[in-house]
Amino acid sequence: GVRHVAFKEAARAAQLALKTASGAIEEKRTAAKGFSEAVAESALKELAAMKEFVDLLGTDMADVHKDASDQIYGTARRDIEARLKVAEVKAKTVVQVCEEISSRSTEGKEIDAGEMTDLLEKGGQASEEAASLITEMISTLQGHLRDLEASETPAKKDFKQNLTKLVQMEGANNKQKKELMSIEQRFVAKHVLKLAEPMVQDLEAKLEHLTSVSAPLVVESEKVTFNATMLLARAAEALRAHAAAKELTPQAVCDEIIGSEDAIVESKFVSFIHSLPQKEQEDLPLSEAQLKAAYTALDSVGAGRVAAGDFLELMRRRYIVLAEAPLLASPEAEGEVTRTLAPLEMVEAIGPNGESSATVAKVRAELDKAEGFAAIGDASLFEPFSPYSACAHKTNRALEEVAAAVKKATAFMQEKGAEFKAISSVGKAQAVREAEDGLMRLRARAARVQAAHATLKKKVGDELAERAKKMKLEAHRRDQAAKTAAAAAAAKDAGSLVSSVTAIADRAAGLAGGALKAAAGAEDGARLEAGLLEQMDAASEELQAALREAAASSASLAERTAAVGANPGLKKLLQASASKISSLEARCRQQAKALDNTRLKLARVAERGLHEAVKAHMRSSGSSAQAVFDKLATGGAAAPKTIPVDAFRSFVQEQVGAELQPSQLELGLRRYAQGVSRLAFSGMAQDYRAVVKPIVLTSTLAVQEAEIIRKLELGEVVEVLGDITTDPQVGLERARGRAMRDNGEGWITLRGNQGTPFFDVAGKPYLLCKAPEVPMRNECSRSAVAARALRGGDALEVLEGPVREPAVEVMRVRGRAKKDGRTGWVTMRDGAGAAPSLELAEALVCRCSIALTKDADAGAVVRKLELGELLDRTGEPQEDPERNVTRVPARARSDGKEGWVTMRGSDGTQYVVDNTMIYTCAFDVPMESSFPSGSSRMRTLEQGEVFDVLEGPTVEKKVGELFARCRGLRDGAEGWVCVDSSVERWAPRCTCRKKGDLQEDVDCADGVGVVRSLEAFEPLEVLSPPARSSSGAVRVHVRAERDGATGWTTLRQPGSDEALLECLFDVP
């Protein structure tokens, strides 16, 4: 093929070259005739020789072309003949297939679909392959004949003969191909009808089955019997529920109904079920007429008597399988699966009373009697059997099956009909046309089935919807009846709860009212009636019992209200009852609070009497509080020392000799049930009073003879030192006292002769350090030496003061810091005699920018000096008479560079002068924003920093600070402390600002070692001075007044100013 094509191209090119050469020679011969005779003759001879040579080449090329063609076309002829034989074999195969199918059809031998498909595929493939070969060879031969059109060779003749033969073979192959198509059409048409006919017959059978199973739902004549069967199923449910409730066997129930008879009669059947409680009738209660209809269905033979065996068959508990479910060998969920129950199978529960206490029960499959365990409580897998539900499930299954079969058959016939329609009418066989007619008839039958299915589906749907509607209405009726019954029961229960709470609350209110009335006089200091405290305790217990009952009743009503659902009337009734109980609860709480307040007032009165008695004893005996406490207290390093309550009671009864009733003494001691701490005894033993009306401190008891020492100011605190006595001349209540402010002693008037009080009882004064460090000084002055530094959280006992130190004069200057250019006020001298904070810099200062030169003659410039820069002299100034300038050697303080600088210019300008306004800080000093010292701090000037004074010095007259002489509660160290924002008032009684924890140790981390939780505003007694934990928190050892629990709690967290405890400064 490739060589043949190349040869043809070369031959064509050679012929073209010869033709071109011949044409060129003829053109030259024509042109030569126009030359001179001699020239023309010579030229024509040369051209004639050329023409002869070209002709010779043409002859040689023709011979070569002939030899090459004979060789090439001989090969092509042999190839054609070989392929022709293959095509003949393929065509013969087609003929053989057609003949075999025709022969077997003539003999009546049916060919199955698989074999027919194989034969048709074999013939069709051979026909296609033969056609392909024939078409290809015809095209090849036609090409060769075109190439040999101008020549006559033996190959040309052979090619024509083979071409004729191939055309004949092509016609025969096409004829056989049509025959194969005809055979295929006849076979397919017959096969399609063979498949479609059973489909339609199956459809019609399924429709007949659907009609049969749905008849009880849609055929009126069968509904009556079927409805009676339904009523019987409902009656059976009621009987089974009765058996389960009474734990009876089906035989025992049968015996109950039969009684002395040998069979069940209608009257006993109806009356027995009518007598069952409504709760045992799971479905709607049946009327007498319905029960009679149910009995008729049970009495299948119409004899009026039902045998025990028929009744026991009725009592079986059966279930419908809704979806595939496992039948297990054991009740465990992971048990071995015996077999799988199919949808719509029936199983019977065979456990006690036909059921199980769990959702899994033992069952028996009715299909094959296989036994096992199944989850009958799973509503998605099982449904209790009733004739109606069974019929509905079977009907729905039949509807689905008919619908699926109609869809399948219709799709099949539509598909095959479309295939038949796609066949051209020219080549369509008669069998195909007959099959199309047959399919049309079958489709008509399927359409009738489909229409009947749709009709039945609508009837069934309407019936099920109607039943669902009736069931919904009846369920609504039953729900309303249940709500009515529940409302009545709830109303009764709510009334009982309200009555019970009311009775308890009224009894408690009577006791509380009597106790409060009896305690009214004792609140003002009158003697306590015998048994009053016991009466108050009994009333409190009754009130707490009433509150507990009210809380339980409220919770019960709340639960019932939440469970009511959509029943507004019942909800309203319950809410009204809850409101009544809430009112009773509020009344009880109010009375309980009144009792608590009264008990607290009585306790305060008793405590006040106890404290006054102890103070009077301590004043008269002259004993120190510290000595008495050390004598009575017990304890050691492991726990703070305290006076046991028994020892304190004996001390009060034997030494104090107070005129207190035993009940008042016990009431006063309740607060100290866990013992009396050092701080508590100190506050109890020392008598402090605060001035509430202007009064004077005098020298003697007798006012008329006394000299005035000084006037006491409002709020000033005085410690009463001796017995309280009466001035016999004027009838004033007088006592010797010590003014805390200046430690001055004298006589004071506590109460006038008309009862006017000049003092009020005050607590012992304490201070608590707030700042991280608070200096304690030796003297009452800020300039005094700090003897020690107190830490934040240190508690101090005030011994004297607060007293104000003398006024001081402070020297203040305003200036600019050289470092950052900021302007502010600085205290140059604090007036306390301390060294000045600013020192005048002994230096030269540049008044303007000028050069620092290398020598005195203003030679090379070392660098440029800036305005305000400081210089130290390194020699004496020198005058330059010629230039009339003064120069001085100096060293720049900023970088240490040395040189000469001009002090005075020739025109008298002063470039560098002696410093009078620039200072350096002798030590770190604050720079403040305004003139008054102590104003807001801008920043701290560091030691050695340069400060340029712009204004001042100006004198500020500063009022002296308040100081108090104090003693540390932990170490006993004494000294003077400035009473400013670094300290705050403190008291050994406090309350929690918010919830917290009472912990076992001072170093317990959060949540560790918790004794109990502390509530907000819970009162606490401090047992020992505050201490710092390892984390830096300020902690206090306290005792809860509520229950006596002791432990540590946090007063202030590390780095925080917020106090978590609030001091109580009131005193009993």
Average pLDDT over residues 59-67: 65
Residue 108 pLDDT exceeds 80: no
pLDDT in tens, 929-940: 998 888 898 999
Bridge partners (DSSP) of residue 786 are: 777
Share of the chain above pLDDT 70, in %: 91
pLDDT in tens, 909-959: 898 988 888 888 989 999 999 988 888 989 999 998 888 888 888 888 878
Q: Answer yes or no: are the C-beta atoms of 746 and 699 closer than 8 Å.
A: yes
pLDDT at 73: 65
What does residue 321 show for φ and ψ, rounded to 5 degrees? -80, 120
pLDDT band for position 68 (cuts 50, 70, 90): low
pLDDT at 648: 87
Quote the longest CA-to-CA distance of the chain: 195
Least confident of 389-393, 404-408, 1002-1006: 389-393
3-class state of residue 810 by DSSP: strand
pLDDT in tens, 235-275: 888 888 888 888 888 888 888 888 878 888 888 888 888 88
Structure tokens at 79: 């190839």
Stronger pLDDT, 151 or 608, i.e. the higher one: 608
pLDDT at 354: 43
How far is residue 884's CA from residue 893's CA, in Å, rounded to a whole number? 28
Stronger pLDDT, 612 or 113, i.e. the higher one: 612
Indicate the pTM of the whole model.
Answer: 0.48
pLDDT at 421: 79
The structure tokens 């006849």 sit at 186
Residue 528 pLDDT exceeds 90: no
In the chain, DSSP finds a helix count (H) and a strand count (E) of 17, 47
Q: Who's near 389: CB < 8 A, 6+ residues apart? A: 320, 383
Average pLDDT over residues 444-472: 86
| Strand (E) or helix (H) holding 766 | strand 766-769
pLDDT band for position 355 (cuts 50, 70, 90): very low
Angle between helix axes 568-621 and 430-519 (nearest 10 degrees) is: 40
Residue 1061 pLDDT exceeds 90: yes
Terminal-residue alpha carbon distance, the chain = 133
3-class state of residue 781 by DSSP: coil
Q: Answer yes or no: are the C-beta atoms of 280 and 311 closer than 8 Å.
A: no
Q: Answer yes or no: are the C-beta atoms of 821 and 950 closer than 8 Å.
A: no
Cα 355 to chain centroid, rounded: 44
Q: Who's near 197: CB < 8 A, 6+ residues apart? A: 442
Average pLDDT over residues 994-1006: 91
Average pLDDT over residues 960-968: 91
pLDDT in tens, 187-223: 777 778 888 888 888 988 988 998 888 887 887 766 6
How far is residue 809's CA from residue 822's CA, in Å, rounded to a whole number? 26
Residue 581 pLDDT exceeds 90: no
pLDDT band for position 766 (cuts 50, 70, 90): very high
Q: Where are the alpha helices (DSSP H) in 796-906?
A: none
Average pLDDT over residues 145-155: 71
Residue 476 pLDDT exceeds 60: yes
pLDDT at 353: 47
* Cis peptide bond prior to 662, omega within 30° of 0: no
Stronger pLDDT, 1037 or 859, i.e. the higher one: 1037
Average pLDDT over residues 296-321: 80
pLDDT in tens, 665-713: 888 888 788 888 888 888 888 889 999 999 999 999 888 888 999 999 9
3-class state of residue 947 by DSSP: strand
Highest mean predicted confidence (pLDDT) among 58-67, 514-523, 822-831: 822-831
pLDDT at 356: 43
Residue 283 pLDDT exceeds 60: no
Highest mean predicted confidence (pLDDT) among 144-153, 378-387, 518-527, 1024-1033: 1024-1033
Residue 825 pLDDT exceeds 90: yes
Residue type at 323 in one-letter notation: A
Residue 779 pLDDT exceeds 80: yes
Q: What is the residue-averaged pLDDT of the chain?
A: 83
Q: Answer yes or no: are the C-beta atoms of 541 and 588 closer than 8 Å.
A: no
Q: Answer yes or no: are the C-beta atoms of 867 and 848 closer than 8 Å.
A: yes
pLDDT at 796: 94
pLDDT at 60: 67
pLDDT at 273: 82
Residue 1068 pLDDT exceeds 70: no
